[in-house]
Amino acid sequence: MTDRRVTPFSGQVALESARGQVEAAAFTEGEPAEVALPLADLLTAPGEGRDRQVLLGEALTVIDRRAGHAFVQAAKDGYCGWLAEAAVGAPTEPTHWVAAPGSHLYTAPKVQAPEIAGISLGVRLHVIDIDGKFARTSHGFVPAVHLRALDDPADDPVEVAQSLLGTPYLWGGNSRAGIDCSGMVQAALTACGIACPGDSDLQQSVGRALEEDEATAPGDLMFWRGHVAMVVDAGRLIHANGYRMAVTYEGIEDCIARIVTQESRDVIARRRPR
C-alpha cells in the first residue's frame, strides 16, 4: 500500500516515477516550480486541511492542477500535497538560505524601511548582490547576517533547534510563526545538510537505531507514537509540544513519565541522525 504523503499521485495524474506503483489516468514528467510565498500550507486536498507547510524558494514539481490549486511534490523531502496556485511560482536559482530562526524581507536596504513579509529558518533566496549590511534578493532586501550560502550548512542540529525555543506550537507547522515536533526536527537536521522526512513516523528511518543499552548523545532523536524530540544533553531534550504549546526543554525522564502517565505512550524508537 502506498503512502499518499510521499506518493506523487493526485488521484488522477501521477509522476512517471510512480508508474507501476499506482493506477493513474495520466502520467507526467512534472513541471519544475518553487514556493512563491513566504509560507504556504500543503493541503490534503483543495480547500481541505493542512498536512505540512512549505517555505519560500523551496523547489517543487507540479504534477496536477485543479480548482485553483496545484498538486506538487516537494524536492526537500518528497512530501506531496495541494498548494494554492498563488503559492506556486517559476523556479529560480537560490544561492542562500535563511540561517536565523526568523528574518524579514524589506523594501530597501535599511532597518527603518517597511517590511514586506516575515520569513523563517530554511527559506531559500537568490541573492543578487550585497548592499551594505543587506542582501538584495529577487523578493526584497534581507539582513546579510541572517543568510548563509547554500553550500554552507550549519554545524549542530541541537543549536539550530535551540534557536527555535519559544516558537509557538502549530500542528503541521514548519516556520518560526508556528512549528510542530517533526517540523522542528526537520528544520534542525535540514539546516545541517541531513536529509529528513516531514512527519515523525517517517523520521524513524533517519540515521541508525541506537542499541538497547546505548546511551543517547546530543542530537539523537527519541520517538513516541505521533511524537519526536531531540536530545540536548544527558538530562534534557528539546521538542515542539502541545503540553506547553511551544518549543521547550524538558527533562528526559520527566518527559517519558509524563507522556506515559497522561497519554499511555512510551518511547518506541531512538535514532542517531549521523
Q: Could you tell me if 39 and 128 lie in one domain? A: no
Q: Could you tell me if 163 and 259 lie in one domain? A: yes
Sign of the dihedral through C-alpha 209, 212, 217, 219: positive
Q: Could you tell me if 165 and 141 lie in one domain? A: no
Q: Could you tell me if 52 and 83 lie in one domain? A: yes
Query: Which candidate, 9, 11, 46, places its Cα nearest to that of 28?
Result: 9
The overall average pLDDT reported for the chain is: 97
Question: Above 80 in pLDDT, residue 152?
Answer: yes
Sign of the dihedral through C-alpha 7, 13, 18, 23: positive
Q: Could you tell me if 108 and 84 lie in one domain? A: no
Q: Could you tell me if 168 and 132 lie in one domain? A: no
Within 10 angstroms of residue 32's Cβ, the number of other Cβ atoms is: 12
Q: The domain that contains 59 carries what CATH number?
A: 2.30.30.40
- Please, what is the end-to-end C-alpha distance for the chain in angstroms? 29
Length in residues, the chain = 274
Residue 274 — very low, low, confident or very high, per pLDDT cuts 50/70/90?
confident
User: 62: domain range?
Assistant: 4-89
Of 70, 89, 108, the one marking the end of a domain is 89
Strand partners, 148: 97
Q: How many Å apart are CA 144 and CA 142, to the nearest integer?
A: 6
Q: Could you tell me if 100 and 71 lie in one domain? A: no
Q: Could you tell me if 65 and 143 lie in one domain? A: no
Q: Could you tell me if 85 and 110 lie in one domain? A: no
Q: The domain that contains 139 carries what CATH number?
A: 2.30.30
What does each C-alpha distance from 149 to 102, 153, 198 come to in angstroms? 16, 8, 23
pLDDT score of 39: 98
Summarised one tens digit per residue, pLDDT across range 21-34 is: 999 999 999 999 99
Of 89, 116, 135, the one marking the end of a domain is 89
8 A C-beta contact, residue 161 and residue 238 = yes
Q: Could you tell me if 175 and 206 lie in one domain? A: yes
Domain count for the chain, please give it: 3
Q: Could you tell me if 199 and 254 lie in one domain? A: yes
The one-character DSSP state at 132 is T
Is this prediction's pTM over 0.75?
yes
Q: Could you tell me if 266 and 185 lie in one domain? A: yes
Residue 131 — very low, low, confident or very high, per pLDDT cuts 50/70/90?
confident
